Every structure is written in C-alpha cells, then in structure tokens.
C-alpha cells in the first residue's frame, strides 16, 4: 500500500497527497490502488474552491491551458471614471 497524506479542510472537503510509494508502486512510479493514510493534517481554513469570495475574478483555463474570459458580478449603479 502506498502512503498518503490526508488534508481535511474546515469546509469538510478532503484532498490527498502522495507521501511514499509502496515497493511495487515505486518500481513503475505509479501509486497502487490501496491508500494507506500516513497522516491526517487538519487545515484551519476552507479549501481553495470554497474560499473564493463571490464577485472575485477567477481565471479558468480551457483545454489548451489558455485562460478563458471571465465575468464578475458588478454592483448596480454608475461606473466611476
């Protein structure tokens, strides 16, 4: 079994990061299917997806890696010049 780090966020999302390959997985540099949680790290904040405030511009890449145009929610009223 390969050893993994588990990251638990305050928003209840969990991510995993490979810590160490098992003997069999190390030969082909591919993690095996069995996950052994080496250590659980409690993050004191929400994950990146949940932490983005509404109205903030977030760039999203298309299939080629080029950023797509994004829109933000604008407040009603006249624009400042």
Lowest mean pLDDT across 1-5, 23-27, 29-33, 66-70: 66-70
* Residue 22: domain span: 2-47
- Region 17-24: what's the mean pLDDT? 88
How many domains does the chain contain in total?
1
**pTM (predicted TM-score):** 0.56
Q: What whole-number percentage of the chain has pLDDT above 70?
A: 64
Q: What is the pLDDT of residues 21-59, one digit of tens each?
A: 988 888 888 888 888 898 999 999 998 888 776 666 555
More confident residue, 81 or 51: 51
Burial class (CB in 10 A: 0-12, 13-18, 19+), 30: exposed
For the beta carbon of residue 9, count every other beta carbon within 10 angstroms: 19
More confident residue, 9 or 71: 9
25 is a domain residue: yes
Determine the pLDDT at residue 40. Answer: 93
33 is a domain residue: yes
């Amino acid at each position: 079994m390969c050893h993994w780090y588990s990251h638990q966020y305050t928003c209840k999302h969990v991510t995993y990061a490979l810590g160490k390959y098992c003997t069999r997985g190390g030969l082909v540099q591919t993690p095996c299917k069995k996950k052994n949680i080496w250590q659980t790290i409690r993050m004191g904040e929400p994950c990146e997806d949940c932490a983005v405030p509404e109205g903030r511009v977030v760039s999203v890449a298309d299939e080629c890696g080029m950023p797509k145009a994004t829109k933000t929610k604008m407040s009603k009223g006249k624009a400042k010049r």
